[in-house]
């Protein structure tokens, strides 16, 4: 599915689900003046085409004990970027891994309950045979951390 295949009705449905993923199909149909069948088929198509990847609650990490967030630059040797990123991504503390331009080959975003967990993660990353060095930045405060794609 390309961007061109998503019409205004799809966008309206996506906006509604994006603001409240628990909204019923019936409510969406009523608000958009569409049939329940139309809404159901469109959402199913958006799911099948991987426009909608899933549904999950947005959680507050700090209330769950994750007091430390870090952004970690990773310099990777031997051209093994993808393999190294996949290995790092397996750690449950990691919630995002990106290829990047600039000084670092990869950027890792992770959350930790304690400084010890952060320290252990960085040391473990440095033990990986293809990791040359890391640069860790601890997040002091969060002004915006939007998980949804805003349409």
Q: Where are the domains of the chain?
A: 3-48, 62-138
Per-residue pLDDT of 11-50, as tens digits, reads: 999 999 999 999 999 999 999 999 999 999 999 999 999 9
Q: What is the mean pLDDT of the chain?
A: 95
Q: What CATH number was assigned to the domain covering residues 3-48?
A: 1.10.10.10
Candidates 69, 59, 57, 145; CA nearest to 109 is: 69
pTM: 0.84
Over pLDDT 70: what percentage of the chain?
97
Architecture per CATH, 62-138: 2-Layer Sandwich (3.30)
Q: How many CA atoms lie within 13 A of 37 on its CB side?
A: 0
Per-residue pLDDT of 122-134, as tens digits, reads: 999 999 999 999 9
CB-count burial class (<10 Å; 0-12, 13-18, 19+) for 112 = buried
Candidates 105, 104, 62; CA nearest to 81 is: 105
Tokens of 115: 């400084």
pLDDT of residue 4: 63
3 has pLDDT over 90: no
73 has pLDDT over 80: yes
């Amino acid at each position: 599915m390309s961007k061109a295949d998503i019409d205004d009705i799809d966008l309206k449905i996506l906006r509604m689900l994006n603001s409240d993923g628990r909204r019923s199909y019936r409510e969406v149909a009523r608000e958009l003046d569409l049939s329940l069948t139309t809404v159901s088929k469109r959402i199913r198509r958006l799911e099948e085409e991987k426009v909608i990847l899933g549904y999950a609650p947005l959680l507050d990490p700090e209330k769950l004990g994750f007091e430390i967030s870090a952004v970690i630059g990773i310099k990777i040797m031997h051209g093994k970027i993808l393999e190294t990123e996949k290995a790092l991504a397996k750690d449950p503390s990691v919630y995002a891994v990106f290829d990047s331009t600039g000084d670092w080959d990869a950027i890792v975003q992770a959350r930790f309950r304690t400084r010890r967990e952060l320290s252990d993660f960085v040391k473990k990353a440095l033990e990986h045979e293809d990791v040359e060095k890391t640069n860790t930045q601890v997040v002091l405060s969060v002004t915006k951390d939007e998980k949804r794609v805003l349409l």
